[in-house]
Amino acid sequence: ETGVTQTPRHLVMGMTNKKSLKCEQHLGHNAMYWYKQSAKKPLELMFVYNFKEQTENNSVPSRFSPECPNSSHLFLHLHTLQPEDSALYLCASSQDPPNGELFFGEGSRLTVL
Amino acid sequence: AQSVSQHNHHVILSEAASLELGCNYSYGGTVNLFWYVQYPGQHLQLLLKYFSGDPLVKGIKGFEAEFIKSKFSFNLRKPSVQWSDTAEYFCAVMLSGSARQLTFGSGTQLTVLP
């Protein structure tokens, strides 16, 4: 048990669908992250939220839309995705300011048909 | 922008063999260094970290890593691997300063044969 829970664990969607990934942390952290993990590529940082405010957006296409309603919850809203967006999406949390120790969820495996 | 290189994509060892996984980074300033591990079907978790002081750091499960500043390296080692060490290992770098975000390498898959 990592203290960071992601749902759903697996998601298959068509390119015209709208879906959301959810992340919840029970660690009392104030920073939350979305990473994309593709095979044989470095983890790609997508978004960072500190105290509910977005502080990082690494040139992520607008078809990915994050939402952080409070310090414990983070969403990633998905719409009109492309097959190349298929990947494992990882949520993480950390204390703020960050010290490099991230606590990851188990990920949401997304397949875009 | 900084980058992290892990040159070995897949390493296969027999139990009791010694392990060394390479990690090099490209940044000339002060860095904090990390190794994360992802066991099959599990979440990514911190294995060890270096901030300052003794360049040889010890982590969980008998792993250690050595920071060699002149070589921009932070290689991971274990004297004798076990089957349960089969996992993917990620090196990561965090710059000291305002950004303080982790940059990860592409990972090395370690398979230990029983």
Residue ranges with strand state E in chain B: 4-5, 10-14, 19-21, 24-25, 31-38, 44-50, 56-58, 64-68, 73-78, 87-95, 102-104, 108-113
How many Å lie between the alpha carbon of B114 and the closest alpha carbon of chain A?
25
pLDDT at residue B97, as a whole number = 63
pLDDT digits (tens, 9 = 90+) for B1-42: 678 999 889 999 999 999 999 999 998 788 899 999 999 989
Contact state of B102 with A102 under an 8 Å Cβ cutoff: yes
* Nearest-neighbour CA in chain A from B15: distance (Å): 25
On the question of pLDDT at B100 being above 70, the answer is: no
Chain B partners of A41 at a C-beta cutoff of 8 Å? 106
Q: Is the pLDDT at A53 greater than 90, yes or no?
A: no
- Whether residue B100 and residue A101 make contact (CB cut-off 8 A), yes or no, is no
Chain A residue nearest residue B102, CA to CA: A100
pLDDT of residue A96: 79
pLDDT over threshold 60, residue B98: no
pLDDT in tens, B40-49: 989 999 999 9
Q: What is the pLDDT of residues A55-101, one digit of tens each?
A: 777 789 999 999 999 989 999 999 999 999 999 999 999 987 778 88
Chain A residue numbers with beta carbons less than 8 Å from the beta carbon of B60 are: none
Percentage of chain B beyond pLDDT 90 is 76
B73-78/B64-68 β-pairing: antiparallel
User: How far away is chain B from the Cα of A54, in angstroms, using its nearest Cα?
Assistant: 13
CB nearest to A43's CB, from B43, B46, B104: B104
Contacts of B105 in chain A (CB under 8 A): 42
The verdict on A1 touching B (C-beta cutoff 8 Å) is no
Residue B37 CA to residue B108 CA, distance in Å, equals 10
Does A100 contact B107 at a Cβ distance shorter than 8 Å?
Answer: no
A75 to A43, A68, A108, B1, B45: CA distances (angstroms): 18, 6, 12, 28, 21
Cβ proximity of B48 and B59 under 8 Å = yes
